Structure 1
């Protein structure tokens, strides 16, 4: 794969030495969707923590750089975990849902992520 580029200036992402690189076009696709539950709303308003499901291959450093470049915020901390896979059953056939990584992003005080607008703007 090619080098990993930031969305802002076309420079390679920091912290990607020896890791799998991602192209500029695929940066937007690495953030799958925000997780919206009662628990994540409490974390958002109490601790400025946003929860997203991201590509499983990303490291914490890559996630931090991705969010700083894509949403123009200062990321203080990144916590990640991979939830257990859920079984999926359709009739007699049984399988599993795709696995993903959940990232909890803490941003600097006074900043926020407007993910609906930012993802639409970055895609166009």
Structure 2
């Protein structure tokens, strides 16, 4: 994501799966003091996984998460390492 952050002024975040685009936009603008022009989201659902063991068939699920790609106004930038 750092290449997209430099070239396209776009940053990626992992957000709550229940958050919508308006909530994500408001949160990023409040946290970093920038102007968000576009928000793209993608849901990644956990895939059911099962495997055979000596004890029998074990099944489980991977974690669900949502990824948000935020495009900022020209001239705005997020510096993640400024707090260090």
Question: Aligned residue pairs: how many?
Answer: 80
Larger Rg: 2
Distance 1:81 1:91, change over 3 A: same
1:63 is matched with 24
- 8 Å CA contact 2:40–2:69 kept in 1: the answer is yes
> Which structure shows the higher helix fraction?
1
1:109 is matched with 74
2:63 is matched with 98
Unaligned runs of 5+ in 1: 1-39
> Which structure shows the higher strand fraction?
2
TM-score by length of structure 2 reads: 0.77
CA distance in 2, matches of 1:86, 1:115: 31
TM-score by length of structure 1 reads: 0.55
Structure number with greater CO (CA < 8 Å, separation at least 6) is 2
Unaligned runs of 5+ in 2: none
Q: Give deviations 1:4-62, integer Å, cap 9, x for gaps.
A: xxxxxxxxxxxxxxxxxxxxxxxxxxxxxxxxxxxx23321221100111000101000
